[in-house]
Amino acid sequence: MVPVQKLTPVTPSLLPPPDRLHDSTYVSVFLGAIAVATGPIMETPHFNLYIMDYKGAVVDTAQRTPKSLIQTGGNYWWFGNTWYLQTPLEHLKDGCVAVMELRHRSLVTQEVEVGCWTFFHLDLSKITTAPATFEMYAPPVDPLSKILARIPGDSFLQAEINVSL
């Protein structure tokens, strides 16, 4: 399980595309719309993004999006940001996953906490460029768990994965 860091204030830290190594495969993720059917009212929602290895260690620079560009009601947001993974797939060990945490500032404690999260495997033999819809999970963040707590109702992230040389 990855501990939630106390971030005050929440500062965006999305990195530009990395300098590319010859014959290496890079992944970027366009973060579009997210809907969360149930859960807390989220003030200043933003994504915390990182790569985790099979032991649970963060192995690439963690990045944060700015807060959502558009919010409709209390549970639908549009981000419109691109996350450029900085490490080529060939340099990652087997079992790595890309983790996307939707974080927000709690209205009760004023601390930043994970509202929901999702992930995908960074398997060079299976990953392709395509639109993707990810199911969202309730905290705690643990993509290595055999049992993931789904958020009840229709909770999802619409994104586009781009794989390039």
Give CA 90 to chain center in angstroms: 21
- In the chain the first and final C-alpha atoms are separated, in Å, by 32
Q: In angstroms, what CA-CA distances link 146 with 39, 91, 142, 161? A: 23, 26, 9, 24
Q: Where are the domains of the chain?
A: 26-153
Could you give the CA distance from residue 133 to residue 111 in angstroms, rounded to a whole number? 29
Is residue 24 packed enough to be buried (19+ CB in 10 Å), middle (13-18) or exposed (0-12)? middle
Fold observed for domain 26-153: Immunoglobulin-like (2.60.40)
What pLDDT score does 39 carry?
Answer: 64
What pLDDT, on the 0 to 100 scale, is given for residue 40? 63
Length of the chain: 165
pLDDT (0 to 100) of residue 95: 95
User: With a cut of 50, which residues of the chain have pLDDT below it?
Assistant: 1-8
> Which of these, 28, 62, 27, lies nearest to 47 by C-alpha position?
62
CA dihedral 122, 2, 31, 20 (to 10 degrees): -50
Buried b (16+ CB within 10 A) or exposed e, 29-39: bbbbbbbbeeb
Residue 82 CB coordination number (10 Å): 16
Helix (H, G, I), strand (E, B) or coil at 89: helix
